[in-house]
Amino acid sequence: MQSTIGKTTLRLVTGDVAEQDTDAVVTAAHWRLNKGTGTDGTIHTKGGPHIYEECRRIGGCPIGDAVITTGGNLRARHVIHAVGPVWRGGDEHELLASAYRRSLEVAVRHRLRSVSFPSISTGAFAYPLRRAAPIALRTIIAFLQQEQHDIGEVRVVLYTREDDKAYRVFAAALERILSERITDAAAEPRAAPDPAT
């Protein structure tokens, strides 16, 4: 599934984020930037030791923030390490949104043109997928609409072997958000005609 947001293609795909050929891939990292499990473990395993060496030099990253390293042996040139929140019951939505937003800001600062995201915090950090999907997509869409950037493609890569509902949940959320945008645009008041013309 895909949609055009301004000048950017937003695409939902299934697969392994570590295998994507975008300029950068995002990993759902721990704040210590140590090798995690799930997506982060796969990124480090497939990317090789250079990624972890840079992570050790950086030393850590606050929750809701993101840092960038080499892509090592990955097809992507860079890895953006986004630290999402651990789910504790409902007050973490702004930190989750911030992890996506900061990842895009890092990509723009490094003049990257394409980025692939996993579903941040919904694995080991236990953020409910149905809550996380609209937060992720609304944050990405808002950034693409409102900020200065040259990003041509954003992929959200859903790892269905980890959760077979992931793609369906994100696709349904994207359809809702896009339909809301159409409704909102139709409801905008039109300028009254100039009586002098």
Residues 140-149: tens digit of each pLDDT: 999 999 999 9
Arithmetic mean of pLDDT, 71-89? 97
Closest Cα partner for 99 from 77, 125, 70, 76?
Answer: 125
Does 189 have pLDDT greater than 90?
A: no
Arithmetic mean of pLDDT, 184-196? 54
Which residue is catalytic, options 40, 65, 150, 164? 40
Tell me, what's the pLDDT at 129? Answer: 95
Arithmetic mean of pLDDT, 156-172? 89
Chain-wide mean pLDDT for the chain? 92
What DSSP assignment string belongs to 130-170? HHHHHHHHHHHHHHHHHS-----EEEEEE-TTT-TTHHHHH
Query: Percent of the chain having pLDDT more than 90?
Result: 82
Alpha-carbon dihedral sign for residues 83, 142, 119, 108: negative
Tell me, what's the pLDDT at 149? Answer: 97
Arithmetic mean of pLDDT, 96-108? 98
Arithmetic mean of pLDDT, 84-104? 95
Burial (CB count within 10 angstroms: exposed 0-12, middle 13-18, buried 19+), residue 46: middle
Tell me, what's the pLDDT at 16? Answer: 95
Question: Do residues 112 and 79 make contact, with C-beta atoms less than 8 angstroms apart?
Answer: no
Tell me, what's the pLDDT at 162? Answer: 67
CA dihedral 20, 125, 29, 168 (to 10 degrees): 20
Tell me, what's the pLDDT at 139? Answer: 98
Give the span between the Cα atoms of 147 and 127, in whole angstroms: 27
Tell me, what's the pLDDT at 160? Answer: 75
E strands along 71-128, which residues? 78-82, 114-117
Tell me, what's the pLDDT at 197? Answer: 43
Does 183 have pLDDT greater than 60?
A: yes
Does 18 have pLDDT greater than 50?
A: yes
Arithmetic mean of pLDDT, 25-31? 96
Give the span between the Cα atoms of 29 and 56, in whole angstroms: 13
Mark whether 164 is an active-site residue: no
How many other C-beta atoms lie within 10 A of the C-beta of residue 84? 30
Question: Do residues 154 and 112 make contact, with C-beta atoms less than 8 angstroms apart?
Answer: no
Bridge partner list, 156: 12, 117
Arithmetic mean of pLDDT, 29-44? 91
Q: Which CATH number fits domain 2-185: 3.90.79.10, 3.40.190.10, 3.40.220.10, 3.90.850.10?
A: 3.40.220.10
